[in-house]
Amino acid sequence: MIISDYNKPTLLYIDDSPEFLILFKAALKDNYNITTMESAEEGLKYLRTNKPNIIVADQRMPEMTGIELLERVTKEFPAVLRFIISGFTDFQLVVDGVNKGKIHGFFNKPINPDEIRITISKALEIQELREKNKEMLEELKETNIGLKNSNRNKTVFLQILSRQLTKPINNISGTIQALKDKIDSKELFSLVNILDNNLSDLKLFSSLAHQISLFEIHENKMNFSSLNARELLEYLIIEKTEHLNKRNISTNLKETEKNLKLFGDYKLVTNCLIIMLENAMKHTSDNGKITIKIGQEKNSTFFEITDEGLNYTEDVLQKTKTFFTTNEDFLDANISLGHVLAKQIIDAHGGKVKCSCNKDRVSVKLFFNSLTKKKKSYRIKEKIPQ
């Protein structure tokens, strides 16, 4: 298929070897509007007056390496997709490229045009998806006041968001898997894994948006019953065992009393606990430890999940505490959809959340009504749903 010049992405290729500039442009001119430069400084001057979608830089250039160039591009022109090309296969080069130049891909010389087209295409798709998500969050933030008084609008928005994300996510996922099956190079495989991890975050985002919309619709159809706290905890650990083992995270389980019961919807409570454990894993190092405690305070049964507090800023931590403790329905880009869903579930159960930080460890304490506080209008089952 011939792509018109108007619709082609713009690409800047920088290489101090004129023959490679000619070969690259000849091989990929049908797919990109290509501008070539023979030095890093020329490339930087071009970037200051033009806005290409993509930059591909040779690693071994006399005045500045490709990674050094892309490190500057990351700071000055972060929206440009960045790729390194090299005639030498060096895994440390790839690692430095990811850490310093925040590269989106690595190509070997002599070039494989199909590999370049596929990799850049997927990077453009992911970039577009992120931009749409960012725009949607900004729109949500701007219309926060109106949304407070319109739960239906939030539900419809989340349903549309989830539905629109599904197709591109599936397309990107299929392509990534196909690339993994064909890639022999460990370096390229590592880069594809980076894309795969980012895609996993998008999948989770889409799934949580869908779950929140379903919860809004079915909130009045919750199925309350007597639940055993210990059994819920055991189910939680079994559900996340694979992910915990993958990162060698250990769990320290504590139970202050035997046979503690709570009153709630089985599926929603377990979902809430899974969300909070997944969040704790994000803030725990590999080979680290998460403590999960169950107990009772007054007429409430609680689950306390304590992580290592990694990757929290003071601002995000404070906003998370405020979000869980306030009764107001507010939106903030720093609050994850997982926390939004967890809070909805806890609020629907008449419970509460407490967050605390002590000696570099962050604890989230989830309170649910014990059986002694059950409401007469709720229908209680004798057995815990399986």
Question: What ranges do the domains of the chain cover?
Answer: 10-111, 117-220, 223-373
* Per-residue confidence band for 207, with pLDDT thresholds at 50, 70 and 90: low
What's the rounded Cα separation, in Å, for the pair 151 and 178?
A: 41
What's the rounded Cα separation, in Å, for the pair 205 and 147?
A: 20
- pLDDT, tens digit (0-9, with 9 covering 90-100), for 124-139: 887 887 777 677 666 6
Contact in structure between 199 and 133 (CB atoms under 8 Å) = no
Say whether pLDDT at 99 is over 80. no
Q: What is the enclosing helix (H) or strand (E) of 307? A: strand 300-307
Q: What is the pLDDT of residue 281?
A: 92
The phi and psi torsions of 301 (rounded to 5 degrees) equal: -100, 135
* Per-residue confidence band for 149, with pLDDT thresholds at 50, 70 and 90: very low
What's the rounded Cα separation, in Å, for the pair 353 and 367?
A: 6
Q: What is the pLDDT of residue 289?
A: 93
Burial 31-41 (b: 16+ CB within 10 A, else e): bbbbbbbebbe
Q: Which CATH class is domain 10-111?
A: alpha beta
- pLDDT, tens digit (0-9, with 9 covering 90-100), for 301-337: 999 999 998 888 788 788 888 888 776 554 555 567 6
Q: What is the pLDDT of residue 259?
A: 87
Q: Strands across the sheet with 10-14, in order?
A: 33-37, 10-14, 54-58, 81-86, 105-108
- DSSP assignment of 310-340: TT--HHHHHHHHHHHH--S----TTS-HHHH
Q: How many CA atoms lie within 13 A of 340 on its CB side?
A: 22
Tell me if 10-111 shares its fold with 223-373: no
- The larger pLDDT score, comparing residue 116 to residue 267, is at 116
What's the rounded Cα separation, in Å, for the pair 18 and 291?
A: 59
How much is the average pLDDT of 147-155? 49
Q: Does domain 223-373 have CATH number 3.40.50.150?
A: no
Q: What is the pLDDT of residue 385?
A: 32
